[in-house]
Amino acid sequence: MAAPASRQVRRRARAAPRPRSAEDWWWDRLAPRGSGYHLLQSDSMLLVLSEPGPARPRAQRRASRRTPRQPPRGPSAAAKPKAGLRSEAAAAPAPAPAPTPTPEEGPDAGWGDRIPLEILVQIFGLLVAADGPMPFLGRAARVCRRWQEAASQPALWHTVTLSSPLVGRPAKGGVKAEKKLLASLEWLMPNRFSQLQRLTLIHWKSQVHPVLKVESTAVVSFLEEAGSRMRKLWLTYSSQTTAILGALLGSCCPQLQVLEVSTGINRNSIPLQLPVEALQKGCPQLQVLRLLNLMWLPKPPGRGVAPGPGFPSLEELCLASSTCNFVSNEVLGRLLHGSPNLRLLDLRGCARITPAGLQDLPCRELEQLHLGLYGTSDRLTLAKEGSPFLTQKWCHTLRELDLSGQGFSEKDLEQALAAFLSTPGGSHPALCSLNLRGTRVTPSTVSSVISGCPGLLYLNLESCRCLPRGLKRAYRGLEEVQWCLEQLLTSPSPS
């Protein structure tokens, strides 16, 4: 009779209320009942997510974390009960089958399916910004359908770096692997690279030209389909860029505002033939035009051809180059004859541009003018007069002026920089950056400019042969510029 008594004691112990533990207190603190929050626990994290449905019961949460004990298997488990206990076993009622859990109380789906797609795309964006889209997005797309949908967003594929997987492998089977690789790229271009802005190729040799061909074909097709929505476009010039520029001239991007074409680290010797009038008709809303380090050969308009419509919204024109440049006064006039709102004009390296050609431009409020000559040949015949035309026209708005390497005479530079001393209305000039590197500027001219421009924060006097030794350097900041003025006023003039 001792056995039935011990069972009753154990049953009463199970029925007694269980004291609250610290774990129960934390669960109630994080997600109290009826609050509409749901708790998901894994090995290394705890997520509190909002859920429109009822919260999962705590008993089921504990049951999911606890591994149920399996009944022992073997001959001892299949043995018959003893004779003395047969009557009690027969009298005890059979245990009722466990209720089938409803769909609401069933096991939760993966926590990745509960994160909204927008949040998941932002998380992927942080990882892509740190390590790039490859190979993370390709691997994440294999986790589940939600991750595959997030990884396929074109917004995550703006900058792509592709390293050839054929590097270091034997030549056997290389042709087959190359075809397979190019087939993958042909699929990636329209499906993932629709918003591609920068493509970098590392350790590519024989596959470079096929890849660029695939890229240019995909970009042209994308411009023809979605070009009406495009506002900015950056291109690295190569032989394959001609097709893309041809699409631009065909008016596929009428709302384009920024166009930049530049050479990469390895300069391309292929000249760029970009007709001015066709570009003005194809991109009439252009605000920024940059053609950097290019050997540009503008086509002549031809006899009887009317001038182009111009760029009425253009605010920045950059034709800087350290190589041979064929931009002349005539080409510059064709570009800017209809651009009264120009603010920045960068003509560094354009040795064929003269002050007389700049004087005829329609822009009246130019703020930055860069005419420095860097790395040009000494055989070029530079203009010695005409710099006053520039300063007298824009002295009231000019903030940055770069005359580095120009051949203007001492008297010409003195007259040009004197324009900043008599601004209209008696206001202080806006000049804050002046680059006179390699010019024939004199100490008296520099002193008058510093005294008349109290906002001057940068002054470059390197390689100025007419200045005393010790002052031929660049000055940055108001204190250094004022120190230069003190030294010029106290030091004797060079012989």
Which of the two residues, 211 and 149, has the higher pLDDT score? 149
The model's confidence at residue 73, banded by pLDDT at 50, 70 and 90, is low
pLDDT value at residue 151 = 83
The model's confidence at residue 22, banded by pLDDT at 50, 70 and 90, is low
Give a three-class secondary structure readout of the chain: CHHHHHHHHHHHHHHCCCCCCHHHHHHHHHCCCCCCEEEEECCCCEEEEECCCCCCCHHHHHHHHCCCCCCCCCCCCCCCCCCCCHHHHHHCCCCCCCCCCCHHHCCCCCHHHHCCHHHHHHHHHHHHHHHCCCCHHHHHCCCCHHHHHHHCCHHHCCEEEEECCCCCCCCCCHHHHHHHHHHHHHHHHHHCCCCCCEEEEECCCCCHHHHHHHHHHHHHHHHHHHHHHCCEEEEECCCCHHHHHHHHHCCCCCCCCEEEEECCCCCCCCCECCCHHHHHHHCCCCCEEEEECCCECCCCCCCCCCCCCCCCCCCEEECCCCCCCCCCHHHHHHHHCCCCCCCEEECCCCCCCCHHHHHCCCCCCCCEEECCCCCCCCCCCCCCCCHHHHHHHHCCCCCEEECCCCCCCHHHHHHHHHHHHCCHHHCCCCCCEEECCCCCCCHHHHHHHHHHCCCCCEEECCCCCCCCCCCCCEEECHHHHHHHHHHHHHCCCCC
The model's confidence at residue 154, banded by pLDDT at 50, 70 and 90, is confident
pLDDT value at residue 340 = 95
pLDDT value at residue 442 = 95
- Cβ–Cβ under 8 Å, residues 274 and 305: no
- Cβ–Cβ under 8 Å, residues 294 and 269: no
Gyration radius (Cα) of the chain, Å: 38
**Which of 164, 160, 251 is CA-nearest to residue 200?**
160
pLDDT value at residue 124 = 86
| pLDDT of 219 strictly over 50 | yes
| pLDDT of 113 strictly over 60 | yes
pLDDT value at residue 181 = 63
Instruction: Give the Cα separation of 266 and 384 in Å (integer).
Output: 35
User: Each residue of 388-439: pLDDT tens digit?
Assistant: 999 999 999 999 999 999 999 999 999 999 999 876 666 788 999 999 999 9
| pLDDT of 233 strictly over 60 | yes
pLDDT value at residue 136 = 78
pLDDT value at residue 39 = 54
Name the least confident of 38-47, 179-188, 223-232, 442-451.
Answer: 38-47
Q: Share the mean pLDDT of the chain.
A: 74
The listed range with the strongest mean pLDDT (200-209, 247-256, 472-481) is 472-481
Name the least confident of 208-217, 220-229, 415-424.
Answer: 208-217
In this prediction, residues 100-106 reach a mean pLDDT of: 47
pLDDT value at residue 147 = 84
Q: How many CB atoms lie within 10 A of CB 39?
A: 18
Which of the two residues, 470 and 79, has the higher pLDDT score? 470
Report the predicted TM-score, pTM, of the whole model to 2 decimal places: 0.61
User: Each residue of 439-485: pLDDT tens digit?
Assistant: 999 999 999 999 999 999 999 999 999 999 899 999 999 999 999 99
In this prediction, residues 19-46 reach a mean pLDDT of: 55
Instruction: Give the Cα separation of 492 and 470 in Å (integer).
Output: 12
**Which of 342, 335, 350, 339 is CA-nearest to residue 294?**
350
**Which of 322, 319, 281, 286 is CA-nearest to residue 301?**
281
| pLDDT of 342 strictly over 80 | yes
User: Each residue of 129-151: pLDDT tens digit?
Assistant: 877 777 778 788 888 888 888 88
Q: How many CB atoms lie within 10 A of CB 246?
A: 13
In this prediction, residues 287-315 reach a mean pLDDT of: 84
The model's confidence at residue 89, banded by pLDDT at 50, 70 and 90, is very low
**Which of 333, 363, 345, 236 is CA-nearest to residue 289?**
345
Instruction: Give the Cα separation of 37 and 55 in Å (integer).
Output: 6
pLDDT value at residue 478 = 95
User: Each residue of 301-313: pLDDT tens digit?
Assistant: 767 667 788 999 9
Instruction: Give the Cα separation of 335 and 194 in Å (integer).
Output: 31
pLDDT value at residue 203 = 46
| pLDDT of 238 strictly over 60 | yes
| pLDDT of 183 strictly over 70 | no
pLDDT value at residue 131 = 75
| pLDDT of 120 strictly over 90 | no
